[in-house]
Amino acid sequence: MTTECDKCGRDAVHYAAYSGAHLCQEHLCRSVEKRVRRRIREDGLLSDDATPEEPETWVIGLSGGKDSVVLTHILDETFGKDPRVDLVALSIHEGIEGYRDASLDACVDLCEDLDLRHEVVTYEEEFGVRMDDVAEDDPLNMAPCAYCGVFRRDLLAGYAAEFGADKLLTGHNLDDEAQTALMNFLEGDVKQVAKHFDASLGSFDAREDSEQFVPRAKPLRDVPEKEVALYARFRDLPAHITECPHASEAYRGEIQQLLLRLEENHPGVRHSIMSGYEELAELAARDNREEQGASENAPDSLGECERCGSPTAGDVCRKCQLVDAVGGD
Ligand code: SF4
Ligand code: ZN
| Average pLDDT of the chain to the nearest whole number | 90
Question: Which pLDDT belongs to residue 131?
Answer: 96
From the CA of 298, how far away is ligand 1's center (Å)? Answer: 32
Q: How confident is the model at residue 286 (pLDDT cuts 50, 70, 90)?
A: confident
127 has a pLDDT exceeding 90: yes
Q: Is 305 annotated as a binding residue?
A: yes
CA dist., res. 157 & res. 59, Å (int): 10
Cβ of residue 98 lying under 6 Å from some atom of ligand 1: no
Residue 176's Cα: distance from chain center in Å? 9
pLDDT at 297 over 90: no
- Residue 202: band (very low, low, confident or very high) from pLDDT cuts 50, 70, 90: low
Look at residues 179, 150, 157, 195 and name the one whose alpha carbon lies nearest to residue 61: 157
Q: Spell out the domains of the chain, with CATH numbers in brackets.
A: 51-325 (3.40.50.620)
Q: Hey, CA dihedral for 191, 193, 198, 202, is it positive or negative?
A: negative
**210-223 residue pLDDT tens:** 556 799 999 999 99
* Position 91 confidence tier, pLDDT thresholds 50, 70, 90: very high
Burial class (CB in 10 A: 0-12, 13-18, 19+), 73: buried
Residue 200, classified by CB atoms within 10 Å of its CB into exposed (0-12), middle (13-18) or buried (19+), is buried
Q: What is the dihedral of CA 190, 266, 264, 254, to 10 degrees?
A: 20
pLDDT value at 26 more than 90: yes
Mean pLDDT, residues 141-161: 93
| 131 CB near ligand 1 (under 6 Å) | yes
Of all protein residues, the one whose alpha carbon is nearest to atom 2 of ligand 1 is 145
Q: Is 92 in the pocket of ligand 1 (CB under 6 A)?
A: no
Residue 76 parent element (H or E): helix 66-79
> At 7, is the secondary structure helix, strand, or coil?
coil
Reported ipTM: the value is: 0.95
Please state, in angstroms and rounded to a whole number, the distance separating the CA atoms of residues 51 and 1: 52
The residue to mutate among 129, 137, 244, having the most atoms of ligand 1 within 8 angstroms of its beta carbon, is 244
Please, which pLDDT band fits residue 61 given cuts at 50, 70 and 90?
very high
Calculate the CA 212 to chain-centre distance: 19
Q: Is the CB of 146 under 6 A from ligand 1?
A: no
What is the C-alpha separation between 276 and 287, in angstroms, rounded?
17
Q: Is the pLDDT of residue 278 over 60?
A: yes
